[in-house]
Amino acid sequence: MKEKFYDYIQKLQDTITSKLEEVDGKALFQEDLWERPEGGGGRTRVIENGAVFEKGGVNISKVFGELPKSMQTYFGVEDADFFACGLSLVLHPKNPMVPTVHANWRYFEMYDKEGKIVDQWFGGGQDLTPYYLFEEDAKHFHQTCKKACDAHHPEFYPAYKKKCDDYFWNAHRNEARGVGGLFFDYCKATETMGMEDWYKFVTEVGDSFLEAYIPIVTKRMELPYSQENRDWQEIRRGRYVEFNLVHDKGTLFGLRTNGRIESILMSLPPHVQWRYDHHPEKGSEEEKLIQVLQNPKDWV
């Protein structure tokens, strides 16, 4: 399974980066191949200063070896080895009318000292972070997520949509990071879903990503915007940074397993503002966004 899924994410990375370069029309992805001394490595691809994308990364990694002590404590195990691979992407568009997007699809195995698999699971999801709320965009993104889920189980979309709303919650701000999408983790074999079934589900969600995001980008990327719109985008990007550094499990896992720092922190936007005690004007488009972030909606 691990080789099968790693092969899948290599191909998916190629598909996604090719399409993003086509949409941007100016910038190309820069590729970095890196190795992890303890075992494994990855292929990081970053795009910067494009016509559409100010900064973005589409990264794959495959890491393995002895599970670090901090993660042994986290999982409640002793002397375990592990294998993890996944694709992680974040795109920060230049135009504030185009939303930021994040996605991740991953697979994990844990072994005893004889090398036997003692645990294995899939995880992942995709979520949208707009700066200005176009309701039809949120509906399109969620409808695409629901379609991918419904092909496998009618309860997947409502369950994973709620998990996304709960996970991407900036508790110290009492607001969501964005308008959500899907979040699933610890997807393990059961009587009704074997690992092959989970593989089919996760890859279907992965394959749906471009369909969910690209139509939104092409619809909004030529819209006019002001310096005030740009300032608001950078203030909201600050909230994005706060979530990733304070709450995000993927960031913590990467830091605790001696991951590649540049790849882990590529999710951070290039231009950000933190203004003291900033509040949007009453009745403004900015306030409209905040109201939705404080009270997550059902978009489908």
Mean pLDDT of 107-122: 92
Q: What does the buried/exposed string (b/e) look like for 10-40 if buried means 16 or more CB atoms within 10 Å of the residue's CB?
A: eebbeebbeebbebbeebebeeeeeebeeeb
DSSP 8-class letter at 99: P
Mean pLDDT of 17-31: 98
* Confidence grade of residue 260 (pLDDT, cut at 50, 70, 90): confident
Question: Is 271 tagged catalytic?
Answer: no
Name the least confident of 7-16, 213-222, 263-272: 263-272
The catalytic residue among 102, 271, 278, 279 is: 102
Largest CA distance in the chain: 63
For the chain, the structural domain boundaries read 2-294
C-beta atoms surrounding 148 within 10 Å = 23
Mean pLDDT of 223-243: 97
Distance of alpha carbon 116 from its chain centroid, rounded? 30
Mean pLDDT of 57-76: 86
Q: What is the pTM of this model?
A: 0.95
For domain 2-294, the CATH superfamily is Coproporphyrinogen III oxidase, aerobic (3.40.1500.10)
Burial degree of 5 (CB within 10 A; 0-12, 13-18, 19+): buried
Residue 219's nearest CA partner among 123, 111, 139, 110 is: 139
Collect all residues with Cβ–Cβ distance below 8 Å to 37 and sequence separation of at least 6: 258
* Confidence grade of residue 70 (pLDDT, cut at 50, 70, 90): confident
Q: Look at residue 71 in the predicted model and tell me its pLDDT.
A: 77
